[in-house]
Amino acid sequence: MSELFKYTASEWSAIQLSLYVALICAVITLPLAIVVGWFLARKKFFGKSVLEGIIHLPLVLPPITTGYLLLLVFGNRGVIGKFFYETFGIQIAFSFYAAVIAAIFVSFPLVTRSIRLSIELVDQKLEEAARTLGASNLRVFFTITLPLALPGVISGFILSFARSLGEFGATISFAGNIEGKTQTLPLAIFSEMQVPGQEASTMRLVVVSVILSLLAMIAAEFLNKRVIKSKTA
């Protein structure tokens, strides 16, 4: 039983790396998802359904396929990866950057959907009333739309963080499973499962994974209730 709480240096490394990747992913994804979510919620244009389909594609694609496509684009021979490698000497694939990019791509659709639905629930008459009083579109967005859509924004942030913690397929194919560099918590669990006699190590990592995911969901629900309560007070 005591072995369940004796974490090794490599296990702590995987846990810390997962938290780091998830936090960076959530911070980068949120503003992008807010812009795209607002655009999809408020604008009508030809090909909108196609754009939405492309944005939500990572939700239905096998994660390993997403990782392979990222490898084609960001690999040393890819369009973007080749530019960074030859110009700045930066290798994106099979690096920490790749782990973050993979997490962003798989979590972005969830965040965008959450924010878009939340913005669609905001009464547009309130926005129009503010514009008639002389408020600019930017001011309307930051003083009316965004505050009223805050529950969706908060949910989106937590979803991005939680989804990043559980990302496996795209990461292992695009970032690899390099201990101390790209080996996140799910990859560490996978590695330990392949080694006979590592049941205790696997269970330790599984326990952390479950706890972190559960805490993320509880935090999202708690913050949502606080925001809703403050609006009705």
The residue type found at 128 is E
- What count of Cα atoms within 13 Å lies in the side-chain half-sphere of residue 74? 25
* pTM, to two decimals: 0.89
pLDDT at 175 over 70: yes
> What tens digit of pLDDT does each residue of 93-107 get?
999 999 999 999 999
pLDDT at 112 over 90: yes
For residue 218, the model assigns a pLDDT of 84
> What tens digit of pLDDT does each residue of 3-26 get?
556 788 888 999 999 999 999 999
Both tokens assigned to 54: 């492309």
For residue 5, the model assigns a pLDDT of 65
For residue 6, the model assigns a pLDDT of 77
Q: Are 156 and 173 in contact (CB under 8 A)?
A: no
For residue 233, the model assigns a pLDDT of 55
Q: Are 116 and 188 in contact (CB under 8 A)?
A: no
pLDDT at 109 over 90: yes
Give dist(CA 112, CA 115) in Å, integer: 5
End-to-end CA distance of the chain: 48
For residue 227, the model assigns a pLDDT of 61
> What tens digit of pLDDT does each residue of 205-221 get?
999 999 988 888 887 77
Domains by residue range for the chain, with CATH: 8-231 (1.10.3720.10)
Inter-CA distances, 198 with 9, 104, 165, 203, Å: 15, 31, 22, 9
